[in-house]
Amino acid sequence: MTLAQPCERLTDGVVVLRPWTIADLACVEAASRDPGIPEMTTVPAAYSDAEGLAWIERQHGRLALGEGLALAIADAADGVARGQVNLLVRAETPGTLGIGYWLVADARGAGRATRAVDLLSRWALAQPEIDRIEAHVEPGNEPSQRVLERVGFRREALLRAYLEFPTRRADALVYALVRG
């Protein structure tokens, strides 16, 4: 399965999903200061401009390598990046993508994650080769669970000790959104 950059601008007038740019380094730096984001993503825990630029380049490389699509969640009014939403190709399950997302601390609680997940999920499920989108969420991450439920994802399972982090393993709730 190969993903392409969306041809149309993905926006609902409040958020816009777009490729990362060098102008987004402040967002990457803010994310690196949040202990949870570097633990569960590839955002550098020790920020420098060089590390931030390398991270942005890796996000562009996901598409080129066929791994997925990583987009900045930006405010539509001013274009400032506030987080990320991504789709990951699951080679072991054709037609299924994984979805992940994060927001910097001062951008949470205003519905941006829900809007971003909804926009990207609807776009992905409109692609003929995509039938299912999955999210894996720690049981204690209730805000993330609410994001998924608002978009229409359904909780399907609990995978014990499924998530692997540098210093721990964690259970994962499986949420899925399917075509139709």
Share of the chain above pLDDT 90, in %: 87
Amino acid identity at 173: L
Query: Which helix (H) or strand (E) element contains residue 30?
Result: helix 25-32
Residue 28 covered by a domain = yes
- Kindly report, residue by residue over 27-81, the tens digit of the pLDDT: 999 999 998 999 999 999 999 999 999 999 999 999 889 899 999 999 999 999 9
Structural domain for 109, as ranges: 10-130
Q: For the chain, how many structural domains are there in total?
A: 1
Residues 67 and 87: their CA atoms lie apart, in Å, by: 9
Residue 9 pLDDT class (50, 70, 90 cuts): confident
Does residue 111 belong to any structural domain of this protein? Answer: yes
Q: Is 157 contained in some domain?
A: no
Position 2 in a domain: no
With contact defined as beta carbons under 8 Å apart, do 101 and 73 qualify? yes
**What pTM does this model have?**
0.95
Asked if residue 106 belongs to a domain, the reply is yes
Q: Say which CATH number the domain at 21 has.
A: 3.40.630.30
H/E run at residue 177: strand 169-178
For residue 14, being part of any structural domain is answered with yes
Is residue 32, in this structure, part of any structural domain at all?
A: yes
Residue at 16 is within a domain:
yes
The pLDDT tens digits of the residues spanning 33-42 come to: 998 999 999 9
